[in-house]
């Protein structure tokens, strides 16, 4: 596909942050707890909910590559599945994940209310080097934050069906 046509297929959405979405693109996505955080996402009661939600639609709504769950945010690399020439919109997928997780977290903690910041941060993965940079960031984030010594010790990191 030529560059002009490809660019024309991108849609720019903006709330507080600009969001570029294009069919068949792979994204690095981060979504964060609202401030101040009212839950630790790495709590053994909560983290399995987050990992389970990320993995639930892997291969159906999106292809999941790498992910990590941090105390106050989640990073993932994913690509919406293209079916019959159409792909679900990234913002619909992240809204669905965050909505389901907010309900599940609140239910587990016996409370109600908002859990997440309104917007997720997303970045279109441009090439293999960009992918490797973001994947390395995801793998190293727990260590960089002083949460562990070795990645193998971090139970809330993993890969999905699209792992490279």
Query: CA-CA distances (angstroms) from residue 37 to 15, 26, 40, 146?
Result: 22, 29, 7, 19
User: What confidence category does residue 12 fall into, taking pLDDT thresholds of 50, 70 and 90?
Assistant: low
Backbone angles phi, psi at 105, to 5 degrees: -65, -45
**Rounded to 5°, angle at Cα 79 from 77 and 85:** 175
Q: Which tens digits make up the pLDDT trace of 43-67? A: 999 999 999 999 999 999 999 999 9
pTM of the predicted protein model: 0.86
* Cβ atoms of 120 and 25 closer than 8 Å: no
How confident is the model at residue 157, as a pLDDT? 92
Asked whether residue 3 carries a pLDDT value surpassing 80, the answer given is no
Element (H, E) at 19: strand 18-21
Residue spans per domain, the chain:
3-144
How confident is the model at residue 45, as a pLDDT? 96
Average pLDDT over every residue of 94-98: 96
Backbone angles phi, psi at 16, to 5 degrees: -95, -30
Mean model confidence pLDDT for the chain: 87
Asked whether residue 5 carries a pLDDT value surpassing 50, the answer given is no
Average pLDDT over every residue of 64-75: 97
| CA gap 144, 75 in Å, rounded | 14
Asked whether residue 137 carries a pLDDT value surpassing 60, the answer given is yes
Q: What percent of the chain stands above pLDDT 90?
A: 70
* CA nearest neighbour of 29 among 137, 147, 151: 137
3-144 under CATH 3.40.50.2020, yes or no: no
User: What confidence category does residue 83 fall into, taking pLDDT thresholds of 50, 70 and 90?
Assistant: confident
| CA gap 62, 115 in Å, rounded | 23
Which residue did the predictor score with more confidence, 19 or 50? 50
**Rounded to 5°, angle at Cα 158 from 75 and 150:** 95
User: What confidence category does residue 163 fall into, taking pLDDT thresholds of 50, 70 and 90?
Assistant: confident
| CA gap 154, 64 in Å, rounded | 18
């Amino acid at each position: 596909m030529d560059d002009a046509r490809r660019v024309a297929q991108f849609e720019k959405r903006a709330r507080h942050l600009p969001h570029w979405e294009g069919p068949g693109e792979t994204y690095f996505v981060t979504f964060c707890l609202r401030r101040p955080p009212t839950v630790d996402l790495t709590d053994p009661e909560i983290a399995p909910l987050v990992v389970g939600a990320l993995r639930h639609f892997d291969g159906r709504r999106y292809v999941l590559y790498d992910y990590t769950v941090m105390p106050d945010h989640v990073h993932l690399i994913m690509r919406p599945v293209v079916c019959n020439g159409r792909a679900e919109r990234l913002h619909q997928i992240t809204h669905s994940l965050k909505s389901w997780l907010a309900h599940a977290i609140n239910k587990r903690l016996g409370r109600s209310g908002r859990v997440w910041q309104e917007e997720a941060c997303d970045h279109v993965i441009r090439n293999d080097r960009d992918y490797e940079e973001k994947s390395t960031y995801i793998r190293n984030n727990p260590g960089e934050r002083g949460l562990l010594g070795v990645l193998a010790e971090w139970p809330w990191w993993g890969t999905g069906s699209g792992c490279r």
